[in-house]
Amino acid sequence: MHRFILHNDRILDAAEPCLSAGQVGLLAGWGVFSTLKVVHGVLFAFERHWARMVRDAHLMRVPFPESQERVHELLLKLVEANQAFCSTMRVIVVRNRGGMWQGPGSGRDWDLIALTADLKQWGESVKLAYQPQARHSGNMFSGAKILSWSMNLTWVETAQEKGFDEVILLNQRDEVAECTSANIFAAKGSRVWTPPLSSGCLPGVTRELLLHEVQVPGIELTERTLTPADLESADEVFISSTTRDLLSASAIGDHSIRATGRTLLPLRVALGEYTQNYIVARPKAAKI
């Protein structure tokens, strides 16, 4: 993590005390968050991240900042303070009030917190493991990106201790939902599928771009219910996230996955072109 953080409307040194024990969102994981990519000082796809956070905050009864423009301005100031023009950003809105452990706090209904860090080098491919019964697709909160993230962290930490990189989360029907911090895709020939939201997966921003914005002639990308057998018989399997873009899977458990590159490589190029076109006309942080 970089030196400075954003706390509400102030840029602070990360070592400076700014939170209180009585913030219910910190005690109970009652809040929403998103992870953004900063590209040449631009907050890539910010409006999509914001829209998802607004939707999830409403679902979770988390009070939320009213002004998208003001928050965007503050986040750019954080980028400037950390000189983090190509970085990863975590944006969090925490609910402050509610329940018997509510403390005096700051008098605010919510706190806005943002951090930046260096971009992570993910390597050329990932090895995936399975986690059964990890998503309940009928749960009203299954598609929300909320602060209660410890189960995902535990699953991926356990898998990494066994030599894997990420975990495929199965729902109650043993269907593929997603990974702990990525969406997943399977390709056969020129057709690419990703699990529908009804599987219990999160509506990832990169996933949404691939479904609705990034088009490659000759490649059909749609939603479809997937099983482990579908993944293991695919020509390619890859995962997507804001910080990974598109990353090939080389193995699932002890099963090797073919990596033809037939769909992944053109989609990766098209996503890169979309990103570059996006940042051209967007407000960006100023270099000091």
pLDDT of residue 158: 97
pLDDT of residue 77: 97
Q: What is the pLDDT of residues 133-165, one digit of tens each?
A: 999 999 999 999 999 999 999 999 999 999 999
Q: In the chain, what are the domain boundaries?
A: 4-118, 125-275
Pick the CATH number of 4-118 from 3.40.50.620, 3.30.470.10, 3.40.50.300, 3.30.420.10: 3.30.470.10
Read off the pLDDT band of 286 (50, 70, 90): confident
pLDDT of residue 140: 94
86: left (phi over 0), alpha (psi -120 to 50) or beta: beta
pLDDT of residue 288: 64
> What integer best gives the mean pLDDT of the chain?
95
Burial 248-278, CB ≥16 within 10 A → b, else e:
bbbbbeeeebebeebbbebbbebbeebbeeb
List helix spans (H) across 39-92: 46-60, 68-82
Q: 116 — phi, psi (to 5°)?
A: -125, 160
pLDDT of residue 105: 66
Q: For domain 125-275, is the CATH number 3.20.10.10?
A: yes
- Give the length of the chain: 288
pLDDT of residue 110: 95
Chain-centroid distance of CA 13 in Å reads: 25
Report which DSSP code applies to 197: G
Read off the pLDDT band of 102 (50, 70, 90): confident
- Higher-confidence residue of 81 and 19: namely 81
Alpha carbons 44 and 275: distance in angstroms, whole number? 7
Chain-centroid distance of CA 218 in Å reads: 28
pLDDT of residue 106: 65
Chain-centroid distance of CA 168 in Å reads: 15
Alpha carbons 39 and 87: distance in angstroms, whole number? 7
